[in-house]
Amino acid sequence: MNVSSAAKKVNRDVRNQARGLMQTLGRVGGMKGTRVRNQGGESKENPITDRWTVCGKGHIHWGAQGAAGLLLRYRPNQGDPSYLLQQRSKWVDFGQTWGIPGGAIREGETPEAAARREAQEELGALPTFRVTGIEVQDCGGGWQFHIVTADVERPFDAYCVRETDATGWFTYEEMYRLSLHPGFRKWLDEQETCP
């Protein structure tokens, strides 16, 4: 078996394991949703969209409705802008790589709202920021990751909360010296200039 055939077999095995896990979770209720109560005490179904999903190309992604992340930028009066990145915890997908805080978009949630919620979950309280754009990475199989770019008035101390081992402010050049999350690196490589 050559290297290419072996890699295809491994990829096929991983996809099959993920599908099996998703089917098992579905049988035990892990993908069916949960009942929640609103402020009026009414109970309603809350479908779980924070889960693994397989796109039309057979890729495995986190977030049945897609996902979104927040790239915060600080522009000083002089010098290069800096960007807030997080180092992902060892136990998450692509652990120990640097990227932007983000995660699954919940049903009925906008990409901007999801990016804000996920950033707060992973970094703690956020200062006021001004959204400057939303770009979409499409895997080609029907799944999308939305990158919400925004400006802050000054850098702030971001904390290591859920799924985060470290945080830091980096210039565009400094980012390329880091071990970046492959999806974030791909997006950076596609930019003519950093946003």
* Cβ–Cβ < 8 Å for 89, 95: yes
Tokens of residue 132, six digits: 């400057």
Between CA 174 and CA 194 the distance in angstroms is 12
Q: 């002089």: which residue's tokens?
A: 78
Residue of 5, 26, 23, 3 whose CA lies nearest to 15: 23
Give pLDDT tens digits along the chain (195 positions): 554 454 444 445 545 555 554 444 443 333 333 333 444 555 444 456 678 888 888 888 888 889 999 999 999 999 999 999 999 988 888 888 999 999 999 999 999 999 999 999 989 899 999 999 999 988 778 888 999 999 999 999 988 877 889 999 999 999 999 999 998 999 898 887 666
Between CA 124 and CA 101 the distance in angstroms is 11
Q: Is the pTM of this model over 0.75?
A: no
Between CA 68 and CA 97 the distance in angstroms is 17
Residue of 81, 51, 48 whose CA lies nearest to 63: 51
Beta bridge partners of 123: none
